[in-house]
Amino acid sequence: MIEHVKALFETLAKHQIIVSYQGAISNEMVMQMGEIIEQKQSLSGKMKRLFSIFLELSQNIMRYSDEKGFVEDSKEPTGVGMVAVLEVEDRYLISAANLIAAERETFVKDQFDYLNTLSKDELKALFLQRRKEPAPEGSKGAGLGLIDITRKSSEKIEYMFWPNPLNVSQRYVLILASVEKV
């Protein structure tokens, strides 16, 4: 068994991990991880985008993950997923993965593809327009999170889908955003 754990730790040691978590996510935990991010960086100006993207990705998991679980102090189930903030040479990577219903894959993919075609000005216009409209059906937040993430990311959003080997009606979705250090 110790070899099993060593393999995990070796993988972790290869990366500069600022925060990494897997499991049911509560808002309290998001804010605590946010504090770690803040302490690690002197978050000023543009670097505050790191915190904002992390926050929106985490709250997306809480609301939309197809897998639910309980955290200690909550009576309501909350979303299960994985989040990580990594440091690479010239930038930070902010990433999140969770399960979605397989039939939602096309919808989610279309959203990413559409947002990735927009310029920063177009994203701003879309954000302001959507903010004035009633929240879309099925949206538990404001439906604005993904626009904001795309707006604040230094590069276009990358994503991947893959099957859940344990449940054919579910797929994993992985989202990757980045913030340049400059």
Partner 1 sequence: MNSLLIEATKATPDIIFGTDGKWILQGKCCPENPISFFEPIFEWISEYKDSENPDIKLDMILTYFNTSSSKVFLDFFDLMVEVKQAGKEVTINWFYEADDEDMMESGEEFSEDVDLDFNLVIIDEQD
136/109 Cα distance (integer angstroms): 17
How far apart are alpha carbons 48 and 42 in whole angstroms?
A: 9
Size of the site for partner 1 (CB under 8 A): 30
The 77-116 site mask, x for binding partner 1 (CB under 8 A), equals: ----------------------------------------
Q: In whole angstroms, how far apart are CA 147 and each of 9, 71, 90?
A: 35, 28, 24
**Which residues does 89 contact at the CB level (< 8 Å), separation at least 6?**
none
CB of 13 to partner 1, least distance (A): 30
Rounded distance between C-alpha atoms, residue 153 and residue 157, angstroms: 7
Shortest CB 82 distance to partner 1, Å: 19
* 44 contact partners, CB below 8 Å, separation of at least 6: none
Q: Shortest approach of partner 1 to residue 70 CB, angstroms?
A: 15
Q: Is 33 in the site for partner 1 (CB under 8 A)?
A: no
Which of 14-22, 53-61, 86-94, 168-176 is the region at the interface with partner 1 (rule: CB under 8 A)? Answer: 53-61
49 makes contact with partner 1 (CB under 8 A): yes
Distance CA 77, CA 5 (A): 29
Q: What does the binding site for partner 1 look like in residue numbers (CB under 8 A)?
A: 27-28, 30-32, 34-35, 44-46, 48-49, 51-52, 55-56, 59, 62, 124, 128, 131-132, 135, 141-142, 144-145, 147-148, 152
